[in-house]
Amino acid sequence: MRSHYSSQVKPELEGEDVILCGWVHEKRDLGKLKFLVLRDREGFIQVTAKKGVTRDDILEDINSLSRESVIQVKGKIKLSKKAPNGLEINPSNLKVINESGSPLPMDVTQKVDADMDTRLNNRFMDLRKPEISSIFRLRSAVINRSREYLTGEDFIEMCSPKIIASASEGGTDLFPISYFDREAFLAQSPQLYKQMLMASGLDKVFETTTYFRAEEHDTRRHLNEVSAIDLEMAFIESEEDVMRVLENLTVEMIKTASSCKKELETINREIKVPRLPLNRFTYDECLNLLAQEGKEIPWGEDIDTEGEKLLGKLLQEKQGIELYFITGYPLESKPFYTMPDGGKYSKSFDLGFKGVEVSSGSQRIHSHDLLVERIRHHNLDPENFEYYLKCFQYGMPPHGGFGLGVDRLMMQLLDLSIRDVVMFPRDRHRLTP
């Protein structure tokens, strides 16, 4: 139906006929001159009709068109200093494909602000705004780069089940579902399945996946359906091997976002690409830094949201560090599959980005007996993990991995809320659209 997108209409095509399709963004009537701004996926272009030059039926159609109607325009390209981008189209044909209803549920031109609920209730229209669609162009570019990078590093893409019989990591934050004549759950993560693959010989795997977490949060950084890149790799010396993959992957994703100049200009953002290797801070060092600022966290407890935020602020303001690792967490604060490091520490890490945890990972336990011991220590029943434990009895290599939250990474990258960077977010209040 179209020969060009608006961005493909260049001055060197002056005098040529083009066909464009899109939405009526705005109209102006100056009597003998009528202006229509057509918006498509790539931007805007002005259509200029003149009485005595343009056919009367086209002038009448422009008069009757409502904003956000879908149209097809055929016409010649003409250079014009007064037109946006320095050119316009003089229409020889205009077809109304589908007329929009009126009044509109929200203003696409953004002359009238809309609150988040109105935007999400009308997400299809919210996404027509270039400032919003640019976020998801960036997101697409970042996810595509993650796949390119990992496949280039010999990782194999996997796809784990999203309907499971028991908790992936223990705990009760699960969504139960009816699975024929029995109860099942939506998966918290692909954790157990990607570990099982480490015993299969497919020793470097990743998945662009979805987590389902039945946690009753109501914050700018939590959702109940979460997108992530989950990875596992075998034959590692320590968790440091996994961290190197994570930092290289994350910096590649950020670098890709920083190269999307048009999108960043549209949403008025600049992105700083971190230098490698990333700084590493131990859990103990972080507790000391926070204590100096009056934030006391008892040893053994997780760094809470307030502590994470303060730590990110301290590192950013005093050392210019935005992306950083926190290592050496207490073993008791980590899941049962996390490898111990001596008595009370674990071979685990988090990746912090401007005061928000965007990734968590570790070296895993590869000894069957130690794994059973840790499952019991967490008050879980090894029988519920029989299918998982079986692979540890027949040759499991040392391995580790991480989950990198795509939503949180995009949120911190663009300094937005998590609902801004997810097309159709799911939280405790929202199940539609």
Q: CA–CA separation, 402 vs 404, rounded Å?
A: 6
Model confidence pLDDT, tens digit, residues 331-383:
999 999 999 998 899 999 999 999 999 999 999 999 999 999 999 999 999 99
State the average pLDDT over residues 301-323.
95
Q: Report pLDDT for 59.
A: 94
- Neighbouring residues of 427: CB distance < 8 A, sequence distance ≥ 6: 217, 218, 222, 223, 224, 419
pLDDT > 70 fraction of the chain, expressed in percent and rounded = 99
- 6-98 against 124-420: fold identical: no
* Burial degree of 275 (CB within 10 A; 0-12, 13-18, 19+): exposed
Residue 16 binned pLDDT confidence (cut-offs 50, 70, 90): very high
The Cβ of residue 241 has, within 10 Å, a number of other Cβ atoms equal to: 15
User: Which architecture, in CATH terms, is 124-420?
Assistant: 2-Layer Sandwich (3.30)
Is it the case that residue 403 has pLDDT exceeding 60? yes
Domain residue ranges of the chain, discontinuous segments joined by + = 6-98, 124-420
Report the pLDDT value the prediction gives residue 81, as an integer from 0 to 100: 87
pLDDT digits (tens, 9 = 90+) for 410-432: 999 999 999 999 999 999 999 99
Residue 168 has a pLDDT of 57
- Could you name the CATH architecture of 6-98? Beta Barrel (2.40)
Active site residues: 213, 215, 221-222, 357, 360, 408
Q: What is the pLDDT of residues 91-127, one digit of tens each?
A: 999 999 999 999 999 999 988 899 999 999 999 999 9
Is the confidence at residue 167, as pLDDT, over 80? no
Taken as a whole, the chain contains a residue count of 433
Binning pLDDT at 50, 70 and 90, where does residue 215 land? confident
Per-residue pLDDT, averaged over 19-37, amounts to 94
Q: With 70 as the cut, is the pLDDT of residue 171 above it?
A: no
At residue 421, the pLDDT reads 98
Q: How confident is the model at residue 169 (pLDDT cuts 50, 70, 90)?
A: low
